[in-house]
Amino acid sequence: MSRRFGFHPDEMLLAFMVWLCSLPLIALILIPFWGLGVMSMIALALLIILLAICWGMCGWKIIKGRR
């Protein structure tokens, strides 16, 4: 029933898991050079970018499904 209304939790879960798996890599690369503050800002920016991509994909599926 949730797919009928255009709600696709699998894309959101995939975006969240990609973000979680990228956090250790971001931490290993950025913390030694710029510190925890910069790493936190970049991690938050990455989360926002991934969520925007996810919402775009879900929106595209909704628009495409209406035609």
Radius of gyration (Cα) for the chain, nearest Å? 16
- Predicted confidence band at 63 (pLDDT cuts at 50, 70, 90)? confident
Q: How far apart are CA 44 and CA 59, in angstroms?
A: 22
| pTM beyond cutoff 0.85 | no
Q: How far apart are CA 39 and CA 26, in angstroms?
A: 7
**Token pair of 8 as six digits:** 């696709």
Averaged over 62-67, what is the pLDDT? 69
Residue 22's CB is within 10 A of a number of other CB atoms, namely 14
Q: pLDDT tens for residues 8-56?
A: 677 788 889 999 999 999 999 999 999 999 999 999 999 999 989 888 8
Angle of helix 9-34 relative to helix 36-66, nearest 10 degrees, comes to: 160
Task: Give me the residue spans of the domains in the chain.
Answer: 9-60
